[in-house]
Amino acid sequence: MESWIQAYNPLGSILVSALVAGIPLYILFYMLAVKRMAGHKAAIVATLVAVLLAIFAWGMPAGLALNATVYGAAFGLFPIVWIVITAIWIYNMTVESGEFEIIKNSLASITDDRRLQAILVAFAFGSFIEGTAGFGTPVAITAAMLVGLGFNPLYAAGICLIANTAPVAFGAIGIPIVVAAKVSDLEVMKISQICGRQLPFLSVIVPLWLAVTMSGFKRAMEVLPAVLVAGVCFAGSQFIFSNYHGPYLPDIMSAIITIVGLGAFLRVWKPKNVWHFPDEAPSAGGPVKCEYGMGEVLRAWTPYIILAVMVLLWGLESVKKFLDGILLIKISWPGLHNVVLKTAPIVAKDVPYGAVFNLNLLSAAGTAIFFSGLLSVLVIPKYGFGKAFSCFNRTIYQLRFPILTIAMILGLAYIMNFSGMSSTMGLAFTATGSLFPFFAPILGWLGVFLTGSDTSSNALFGSLQKTTAQQIGVDPALCVAANSSGGVTGKMISPQSISVATAASNMVGREGDIFRFTLPHSIAMVLVVSVLTMLQAYVLKWMLP
**DSSP per position, 422-464:** HHHHHHHHGGGGGGHHHHHHHHHHHHHHHHS-HHHHHHHHHHH
Residue 283: pLDDT band (50, 70, 90) is very low
**Residue 286 in 3-state DSSP?**
coil
CA distances in angstroms from 151 to 163, 215, 275, 353, 390, listed in the order given: 15, 13, 12, 52, 34
Measured distance CA(335)–CA(68) in Å, rounded: 9
More confident residue, 507 or 22: 22
- Secondary structure (3-state) at 352: strand
Q: What's the pLDDT band for 133 if we cut at 50, 70, 90?
A: low
Residue 443 CA to residue 490 CA, distance in Å, equals 10
Residue 282 has pLDDT above 60, yes or no: no
Of 487, 486, 465, 461, nearest to 476 by C-alpha is 465
Whether 478 shows a pLDDT value over 70: the answer reads yes
pLDDT at residue 313 tops 80: yes
Instruction: Pick from 23-37, 247-261, 344-358 the range whose average pLDDT is largest.
Output: 247-261
418 has which bridge partners?
Answer: none
For the chain, how many residues are written? 545
pLDDT mean over 220-228: 92
545: DSSP letter: -
Q: Quick check: 311 pLDDT over 80?
A: no
Distance in Å from the first CA to the final CA of the chain: 41
Q: Which residues constitute the domain of residue 307?
A: 4-543
Residue 264 predicted with pLDDT over 70: yes
3-state secondary structure 288-348: CCCCCCHHHHHHHHHHHHHHHHHHHHHCCHHHHHHHHHHCCEEEECCCCCCCEEECCCCCC
What's the rounded mean pLDDT across residues 28-44?
A: 77
Q: What is the pLDDT of residue 476?
A: 92
Residue-wise pLDDT for 75-111, tens only, equals: 888 877 887 788 778 888 988 999 988 987 887 788 7
> Any idea which of 83-97, 135-149, 228-242 has the lowest mean pLDDT?
135-149
pLDDT in the model for residue 512: 67
Given CA atoms 96, 98, 102, 104 in this order, what sign does their dihedral have? Answer: positive
pLDDT tens figures, 155-165: 888 888 899 88
Secondary structure element (H or E) that encloses residue 79, with its range: none
DSSP three-state, residue 466:
helix
Measure the CA–CA gap between 113 and 379, rounded to whole angstroms. Answer: 32
Q: Residue 424's closest CA among 345, 352, 355? A: 345
pLDDT band at 523 (very low <50, low <70, confident <90, very high): very high
Bridge partners, residue 342, by sequence: 351
Number of structural domains found in the chain: 1
**CA atoms of 263 and 273, how far apart (whole Å):** 18
**Mean pLDDT of all residues in 56-79:** 93
Strands of the sheet containing 351-352, edge to edge, are 4-5, 340-342, 351-352
Higher pLDDT, 103 or 523: 523
Q: 217: which residues sit within 8 A by CB, 6+ positions away?
A: none
Residue 328 has pLDDT above 90, yes or no: yes
Backbone dihedral region of 108: left (phi > 0), alpha (psi from -120 to 50 degrees) or beta? alpha
The band of 71, judged by pLDDT with boundaries at 50, 70 and 90, is very high
Percent of residues, the chain, with pLDDT higher than 90: 41
**Average pLDDT of the segment spanning 232-253:** 91
- Separation CA 484–CA 492 (nearest Å): 14
Mean per-residue pLDDT, 46-56: 96
**pLDDT tens string 353-397:** 999 999 999 988 789 889 999 999 999 999 999 999 999 999 898
pLDDT band at 229 (very low <50, low <70, confident <90, very high): very high
Q: How far apart are CA 133 and CA 89, in angstroms?
A: 9
245 pLDDT more than 70: yes
3-state secondary structure of 277: coil
